[in-house]
Copies of this chain bind each other. A is one copy, B any other.
Amino acid sequence: MQYQAPVDDMMFLVKDVFSLTERLGDIADFADFDEDLYAAILEEAGKFATGVLQPINRSGDEEGCQYNDGVVTTPKGFKEAYQAYVEGGWQSITADPNYGGQGLPKALHVLIEEMFYSANTSFCLYGSLTGGATQLLQAHADEATKQKYLPNLISGQWSGSMCLTEAHAGSDLGLLKTKAEPNDDGSYSLEGSKIFITGGEHDMAENIIHLVLARLPDAPAGPKGISLFLVPKFMVNDDGSLGERNGIECGSIEHKMGIKASSTCVMNMDDAKGWLIGPPHQGLRCMFTMMNLERLSIGIQGIGLGEMAFQQADAYARDRLQGRANDGEAPAALIKHGDVQRMLNTMESFNKAGRALGVWLGSYLDETFHSKDQSKVKTADIMSAWLTPIAKAYFTDAGYETCTIGQQVFGGHGYVREWGMEQHVRDCRIAQIYEGTNGIQALDLIGRKLIGSKGEYLKVFLSEVNSDLVTMPDSAHKNQVSELLTELEQLSETIISRSASNSEIPQLVACDYLHYVALVTYSYLWLKMEVAAQGKLDQQSAFFFKRILTRTLGLKASIESEL
């Protein structure tokens, strides 16, 4: 089934729900953009997703990446698609115009990313990493480094990778052992081995720019002794041409449950030449610039796959005749059965709220990076920090549930490979694991963000939501959201105070708390969409409020049982 880019639903968010041009209206960098442009770009992105990316999604899964003596070959058609991706300018959407980027808002880019993830998740990951590397260098590299590397990363002619994990250092990066010794010429020589490196080696770009975490000789132990290095696959001469091969090589690739067309590499460094990015021992902080964007991107993977699964399940449910409907029709389309409606409505409940949260979070990231209003930047920074773990973990948990439900709608046909539904489940599963497991996200939310800020981040979140709520007409749903926000505040205060005397609490309730906060946030977003849609989304919104939001009852009770 061909993917249908949900441009109308997306423009509904851009225009009616978030009034993006108005919302970002005082940001000079976006002054030249308007809604017509956004709509045109989304249309084009949809065509690219449907015409170029989707056709090689299943064949890519069947064929997978091949490894042979350090060389990684991507599946048939990937090279050509990547060339078209570069030529279409899809890598450069949000990048700095000073280095060739288009400088468009992240709030738009999340929608483009969703389409690409829907159509071909494996393909999308290569560019996602390159985008993160770009953002990192824009934020932390010196001007000469930017001049040298950014234009080709932004165009996509070169790709990027994040080299963090080692065999014994996954969630706990403080344990990593890769060493960087200073050379006389200001560069460093790196030794060590990294695992699970997405796009660490492949045949689609001329060069790969690795961003590698390693320890300097005088580094303190643990996470505060980690520095960040730029390590190119091929050296880059001063004139921009490619020089000799650097000492970083792919030792093997993983055989995985899914995302089989995305290369997941062991990267071995033997006298690999690298350059320090940012201050010594501050690598983890710098890397977080990239990681936060990657976390949102991986969240979007959950929504993209959830949307694709929904479209296929919805079409199948309209087409497949089976059983007697309540009105007596037999055989009736699956969609006429209440239990199938429940499944499809559940999928939409997650997809649409998640997409809205993506745009909302994207707009805060745009303010963080582009606003000149320091108070706005401060708020936006806190909101981004608060919402990022929620987006990463809940989009992907709900995405996995959504893909699984979509597969269920197909019955036995969902389990055989030819219908493609089982691939979505396999491709989605990794999103709950990489870029910080969803457990790590939950600990980030409750530990660093809630307790670490003594509730300050939550207050900012509540203030942002409440100041929007007062502009909305009164309704039963609005009352429900208000009550939930009060409940969230009280529950969070109890967590903070009880955790002070019992430090085991945050770990025990972290995941339930993240799910609880996410559902409360979704209730606000469903209300916001319902209001903006002026009646057109009432039924879907009602479904969310009565059938999905009710999960908060169990989550709250589960959390309270540990307090």
A338 touches B508 (CB 8 A): yes
A439–B338 CA distance with the chains assembled, in angstroms: 10
Q: Which of A519-563 contact B (CB under 8 A)?
A: 546-548, 550-555, 557-558, 561-562
B550 touches A339 (CB 8 A): no
Contacts of A411 in B (CB 8 A): 170-171, 433, 437
A337 touches B507 (CB 8 A): yes
A340's partner among B169, B343, B404, B439 (CB-CB below 8 A) is B439
A418's partner among B255, B426, B434 (CB-CB below 8 A) is B255
Contacts of A254 in B (CB 8 A): 416-417
- The closest CB in chain B to the CB of A418 belongs to B255
Contacts of A288 in B (CB 8 A): none
A412 touches B196 (CB 8 A): yes
A504–B558 CA distance with the chains assembled, in angstroms: 32
Q: Judge if A33 is at the interface, Cβ distance under 8 Å.
A: no
Contacts of A264 in B (CB 8 A): 416
For the complex formed by this chain, how many copies does it contain in all?
2
B340 touches A426 (CB 8 A): no
Contacts of A171 in B (CB 8 A): 322-323, 411
Q: From A172, A326, A412, name the one whose CB has the most chain B CB atoms within 10 angstroms.
A: A412
Categorize the interface residue count of chain A. 35 or more
A257's partner among B425, B555, B558 (CB-CB below 8 A) is B425
Tell me the smallest distance from the CB of A423 to a CB of chain B, in Å.
8
A91–B2 CA distance with the chains assembled, in angstroms: 47
A contacts with B: majority SS: helix
A116–B349 CA distance with the chains assembled, in angstroms: 39
Q: Judge if A422 is at the interface, Cβ distance under 8 Å.
A: yes
Tell me the smallest distance from the CB of A479 to a CB of chain B, in Å.
16
- The closest CB in chain B to the CB of A253 belongs to B416
A547–B515 CA distance with the chains assembled, in angstroms: 14
Interface string of A362-374 (1 = CB under 8 A from B): 0000000000000
B546 touches A553 (CB 8 A): no
A430–B175 CA distance with the chains assembled, in angstroms: 39
A443 touches B546 (CB 8 A): no
Contacts of A504 in B (CB 8 A): 326, 338
Tell me the smallest distance from the CB of A20 to a CB of chain B, in Å.
34
Tell me the smallest distance from the CB of A284 to a CB of chain B, in Å.
14
Interface string of A240-260 (1 = CB under 8 A from B): 000000000000001111100
Known contacts A322-B175, A414-B433; A342/B508 CB under 8 A: yes
Contacts of A407 in B (CB 8 A): 429, 433
A339–B446 CA distance with the chains assembled, in angstroms: 12
Contacts of A170 in B (CB 8 A): 322, 411-412
Q: Judge if A510 is at the interface, Cβ distance under 8 Å.
A: yes
Interface string of A382-412 (1 = CB under 8 A from B): 0000000000000000001000100110011
Chain A residues at the B interface, C-beta cutoff of 8 Å:
165, 168-172, 175, 195-196, 254-258, 264, 321-323, 326, 331, 337-343, 400, 404, 407-408, 411-412, 414-418, 422, 425-426, 429-430, 432-434, 437-439, 442-443, 503-504, 506-508, 510-512, 546-548, 550-555, 557-558, 561-562
Other contacts beyond A172-B323, A264-B416, A546-B558: 9, CB < 8 A = A170-B322, A170-B411, A170-B412, A172-B322, A254-B416, A337-B507, A404-B429, A512-B547, A550-B561
Can you show 15 pairs from A to B with CB atoms below 8 A apart?
A: A165-B412, A171-B323, A172-B331, A196-B412, A254-B417, A255-B417, A256-B416, A257-B426, A339-B443, A339-B511, A341-B507, A411-B437, A548-B558, A550-B557, A551-B558
